[in-house]
Structure 1
Amino acid sequence: MTATLPDHVRTILFNRVPEVTVAFWVIKILSTTSGETAADYLNSTLGLGLAITSWIMTGLLVIALIAQFATKRYTSGIYWAVVVLISVVGTLLTDTMTDSFGVPLWLSTVAFSALLAVTFGIWFARERTLSIHTIFTRRRETFYWVAILFTFALGTAAGDLITEGFGLGYLFGTLLFAGLIGVIAIARFTFRVNVVFCFWAAYVLTRPATSR
């Protein structure tokens, strides 16, 4: 009879995502900006257009996710490849809604906020936790990646709404969202606000804070 490992032991052995450290956030920001640059290169510089770029990036993301789900534990190269590609697809999702279908940015922001909230609601209802330190099952990891996709789409929509929709410009947008990230950091380390809330709030905000 196979013994069931305690959660803390399974987490140490099989957690499929990296620990959240300063290095995590640095790599996350670099991954986001490099992914956006690659998408812009395909879309504008090479002239492939939004639709073809979206299909290419979505295909690459599917391949990367298959590789990620095939691994037995956290593998840095595969994990960050998924982050880069999902950041691009999330951004392109918002851009497609705005440019191709004329969806207002305020509506995209509300819609992706709602989708993210629903994802968290279902995730918690099924798993009884939203902890990012216990992603050791395929189902939890599925919720994790769906949430990340919506954070990038939401961050893009909110950032574009502030900088373009309200006409406040990219400098103001960068300073605003960077300031909000600072508020989240203070809330976490000074007032001990819930770590899960702070993580996901910061994850959303780092996307518009690095847009241009």
Structure 2
Amino acid sequence: MSYESARVTEHQSEIQSAVSKVPAVTLGFWIVKVAATTLGETGGDWVTMSLNLGYLVGCAIFTAIFVALVAAQVRSDRFQPVLYWATIVGTTTLGTTVADFADRTLGLGYPGGVALVAALLALSLGAWYASERTVSVQSITTPKAEWFYWVTILFSQTLGTALGDWSADEDLGGLGLGFEIAALVFGAGLVVVAMLYFWTRISRTALFWSAFILTRPLGATLGDLLDKPVSQGGLHLSRLYASAALLLFMTGCVWMFPQRPATKGAPG
């Protein structure tokens, strides 16, 4: 084998190894994703509200967890389902606390919070595209691309939280739809994205990120429905117990649904 052929083979091996750390996008993927986003809402609220640590301390705690998990994910040489989904939960809990910090502590309100995080998400996607010339998950072939991927996921989770709160709540400039109606709205949005996926030729990358963002407000409103007081339209379940139940459900889904690495040409 020539030197150039060996280099090509080595490069292809590196690409496959990096791509294999991202799970295939299947129905099971989206079920686990919704469970993870719901867990992120109840878990984030448990730390900041039930433990009374506040949004700033919560942001600090979850930022440290997020950075540690992403660093472990980047260092890993293969797809590890438990590590991957733990990192996803890390982004959802941090996204919850960051959105609440912006909306409430900084006083931006829900419209201001949505605008700020949407701008940060657009900036992240733009920087990723400028660097890699694509924002497809299939472009994750280097540590730099992986960091772009996870930062973009973080902003998408944060935007989803802000959108869910803006739609469901009445205060802070919210639309006041209530948790059930808001969940139905975002669920319907996911159905529309699925229809576009199966019946149109719209960019699969654009549809992937649209669905990824929409699952977060769906999870946020479901999480609020579980743990908010009855007077606010919730079921007033313990945030700790709800989080534990969601973690068990999510763990069961990861075990039950096939967890295989994505391959070139897969959606997203």
Give TM class, smaller chain.
over 0.9
How far, CA to CA, are the matches of 1:199 and 1:7 in structure 2?
A: 26
Which segment is superposed worse, 58-67 or 192-201? 58-67
Q: Is the 8 A contact 1:11 1:133 kept in 2?
A: no
Post-superposition offset of 1:22? 0.9
Greater relative contact order (CA < 8 Å, ≥ 6 in sequence):
2
Amino acid at match of 1:23: G
Identify which range, 137-146 or 65-74, moves more after superposition.
65-74
State the structure with more CA Rg: 2
Where does 1:65-104 land on structure 2 (aligned, <5 Å)?
65-104=70-109
Task: Give aligned pairs, total.
Answer: 212
1:17 equivalent among 15, 22, 25: 22
CA distance in structure 2 between the aligned counterparts of 1:5 and 1:182, rounded to whole angstroms: 41
Aligned to 2:140: 135
Partner Cα distance (1:181, 1:169) in 2: 19
Q: 1:113 to 1:51 in 2, by over 3 A?
A: closer
Distance 1:9 1:195 in 2: 25
From 45, 49, 53, give the equivalent of 1:44.
49
CA distance in 1, matches of 2:9, 2:127: 25
Percent identical pairs in the alignment equals: 35
- What does residue 247 of structure 2 align with? none
Superposed CA RMSD:
1.8
User: Where in structure 2 are there 5+ consecutive unaligned residues?
Assistant: 225-268
Deviations 1:189-208 (A, max 9, x none): 11132110011001111111
1:96 to 1:4, Cα distance in 2 relative to 1, 3 A: same
- State the partner residue of 2:189: 180
The residue that corresponds to 1:158 in the other structure is 163
Report if the CA contact (8 A) 1:36-1:88 is conserved: yes
**Residue 116 of structure 1 contacts residue 151 of structure 1 at CA under 8 Å; is this kept in 2?**
yes
Supply the AA of the counterpart residue of 1:36: E
Paired letter, 1:59: A
Q: Does 1:3 align with 2:12?
A: no
**1:201 aligned to which of 185, 210, 229:** 210
TM-score by length of 2: 0.74
Describe the shift of the 1:175–1:6 C-alpha distance in structure 2 as closer, same or farther (beyond 3 A): farther
The whole-number CA distance in structure 2 between the counterparts of 1:202 and 1:7 is: 31
Unaligned runs of 5+ in 1: none
